[in-house]
Amino acid sequence: MSLALTPALRDALEGWLDHLGALDGAADNTLKAYRSDVAAFLAFQAGHQGGALGPAGVAALKQGDLRAWMAHERGRGTSARSLARSLSAVKGFARWYADRQGFDPTAILAARSPKYQRKLPRPLSEDAAREVIGLIGSQPRQDWIAARDAAVVTLLYGCGLRISEALALKGSDAELPETLRILGKGGKERIVPVIPAARRAVSAYVRLCPADIAAEPQKALFRGARGGPLNPRLVALAMEQARAGLGLPATATPHAMRHSFATHLLSAGGDLRAIQELLGHASLSTTQAYTAVDTTRLMEIYDRAHPRA
């Protein structure tokens, strides 16, 4: 990218990323993906235009230039989903840059995103979720390791935590309070109620763990066999073993337990906005994608709640 772009445009890209990180709270992984997507787009356009791309070059881009880039990406085998993500990043940068440079970004913003089939999450049934937790807790391993994995998965299903959020808990959280303050994606903070089952599961793990969790409040609550922070891959392996034992599909992953948390709350009549807060989603549309309530259940809620005459 350094040879394809002028210093001014390189600085602009970094300025946009700094803006997203500082003001919008974008996560590091998100910023990394955006940098890669927009840099690749700008580099392509520099080659397409036949020289180093600067502010004037961005301002002069036409819809045909966008179509050429998208055709190039499809030719490289880029999926429609990935291309849609890249185009979204390009539009975000163009909108921000146009505000500062005073040009009209309509040609870029009007580019149509490729259509793709959104993959909806597949939650477990309520019985399957309980069976998974029970089987993980009884797998033939050291008692404390089985208790540890069961405690983590209980937090995913019982509190709707992401695996990264559960593993970010510290020793000081060993005696779980009635609510947890969770720092989620993009630094977004939320309050999550802790159900008694989660509290009992964590207490059982702490009691069996060979490490003195209480004596090390700033270290990870969930430990690996050598005493370091638990690797999330080990939780995934425990889930793999449990789903094999129960005959569940490959979609029964640790993250599916969080999907199940949302879906089961909604199917029980939970408010979608409240579930959005519990999950820490910035957008309600994201929460809707996490839920999978059948039409019959939705009609039951409609018939019970609609204020018709």
List, by residue number, the catalytic residues.
162, 185, 255, 258, 281, 290
Alpha carbon 147 to chain centroid, angstroms: 26
Which of helix, strand or coil describes residue 181? strand
Which of helix, strand or coil describes residue 61? coil
Contacts for 194 with CB less than 8 Å, ≥ 6 apart: 158, 159, 176, 177, 178, 179, 180
CA-to-CA distance for 276 and 260, rounded, in angstroms? 14
Answer for the pair 222, 166: CB distance below 8 angstroms, yes or no.
yes
Contacts for 97 with CB less than 8 Å, ≥ 6 apart: 12, 16, 55, 58, 105
Helix (H) or strand (E) holding 179: strand 179-183
Which of helix, strand or coil describes residue 122? coil
CA-to-CA distance for 302 and 306, rounded, in angstroms? 6
Angle at 269 between CA 263 and CA 270, to 5 degrees: 65
Residues written for the chain:
309
CA-to-CA distance for 290 and 260, rounded, in angstroms? 8
Residue labelled with tokens 């992984």:
29
CA-to-CA distance for 157 and 78, rounded, in angstroms? 34
Q: What angle do the packed helices 63-75 and 28-49 form, to 10 degrees?
A: 110
CA-to-CA distance for 251 and 255, rounded, in angstroms? 9
